[in-house]
Amino acid sequence: MTKSPASRDLLRNRPAAPVVAPSILAADFADLAADCRSALDAGGQLLHIDVMDGHFVPNLSLGPAICEKLREALPEVCFDVHLMITDPADYIEPFAKAGADHITFHCEVLSVDGAKSLAERTRSLGCTAGIAINPETPFELVEPLLGTFEMLLVMSVHPGFGGQSFISEVLNKTSRARAEGPEGLILEMDGGVAPATAEACREAGCDILVAGSALFGKNHLERASVVNKMLG
């Protein structure tokens, strides 16, 4: 599988310092590529692409066709695809072909062995793999998977919608993963992350701060200021 340029490899290794990932869920869908480009120009370093199936979560968002068009428009950007879907096995390949660099799926819909084999399949398609955990899911469910995945995504809202309040109780999952997981494990916090909540995320060991509503719907200077505040 041919892939270029190197900036798309951002999630191959744990970033040296935390970075902000704009979540396209809050972008202007009528002008998606341009709005994503603005969020990246304001300091976002990769694009978080939320995929919802109306089953695992009570909402629908987008499919591989939109990812593919975004890839054409943003050829150098690392695409971090978050599958909030019941059957991730059916969609790994379509999203890999549509230009994903990294694909995260949820531990709630897979057995430990199923998650491990899906991680291998994801890598065989040229992407890195992440495992996500919902706020109400016990940490013990992902514990046996920490050595298998490049990334653990900790949901800090109930998945399905942007603009919700940060659930601070999940911070102990990130702290535990940082303490117990491999040194190179990338930790991503997703949901309600904003200047007011980002510091606690960074202190709990987060590398990737996903930001939807905190970042979009603002002018360039406001967005740049949000990114700077989130990174401390």
CB of 195 to ligand DX5, least distance (A): 12
For residue 34, the one-letter residue type is: A
CB of 59 to ligand DX5, least distance (A): 8
Terminal CA-to-CA distance of the chain, rounded, Å? 37
Q: Which of 35, 50, 80, 207 is catalytic?
A: 50
Determine the Cα–Cα distance for residues 191 and 43; give it in Å rounded to an integer. 19
Q: Which of 35, 53, 101, 190 is catalytic?
A: 190
β-pairing verdict for 186-190 and 47-52: unpaired
Cβ(52)–Cβ(84) below 8 Å: yes
**Minimum CB distance to ligand DX5 smaller for 3 or for 55:** 55
Residue 207: alpha-carbon gap to chain centroid? 11
Determine the Cα–Cα distance for residues 160 and 86; give it in Å rounded to an integer. 13
Q: What does 26 interact with, of ligand DX5, Zn ion, none (CB < 5 to 8 A by kind)?
A: ligand DX5
CA angle 184, 77, 35 (to 5 degrees): 125
Q: What does 212 interact with, of ligand DX5, Zn ion, none (CB < 5 to 8 A by kind)?
A: ligand DX5
Cβ(101)–Cβ(79) below 8 Å: yes
CB of 203 to Zn ion, least distance (A): 21
CB of 210 to Zn ion, least distance (A): 6
**Minimum CB distance to ligand DX5 smaller for 56 or for 185:** 56
**Minimum CB distance to ligand DX5 smaller for 38 or for 213:** 213
101 is catalytic: no
Q: What does 192 interact with, of ligand DX5, Zn ion, none (CB < 5 to 8 A by kind)?
A: ligand DX5
User: Which residue number is nearest to Zn ion in terms of Cβ?
Assistant: 82
Which residues contact ligand DX5 by CB under 6 A? 23, 25-26, 48, 50, 82, 84, 157, 159-160, 162-164, 190-193, 210-214
**Minimum CB distance to ligand DX5 smaller for 10 or for 49:** 49
CB of 51 to Zn ion, least distance (A): 9
Integer-rounded Cα radius of gyration of the chain: 16
50 is catalytic: yes
Q: What does 230 interact with, of ligand DX5, Zn ion, none (CB < 5 to 8 A by kind)?
A: none
Neighbours of 28 (CB within 10 A): 13
3 state DSSP class of 26: helix
Sheet holding 186-190, edge to edge: 19-22, 208-211, 186-190, 151-155, 128-133, 102-106, 79-84, 47-52
User: Which residue number is nearest to ligand DX5 in terms of Cβ?
Assistant: 212
Active site (catalytic) residues: 50, 190
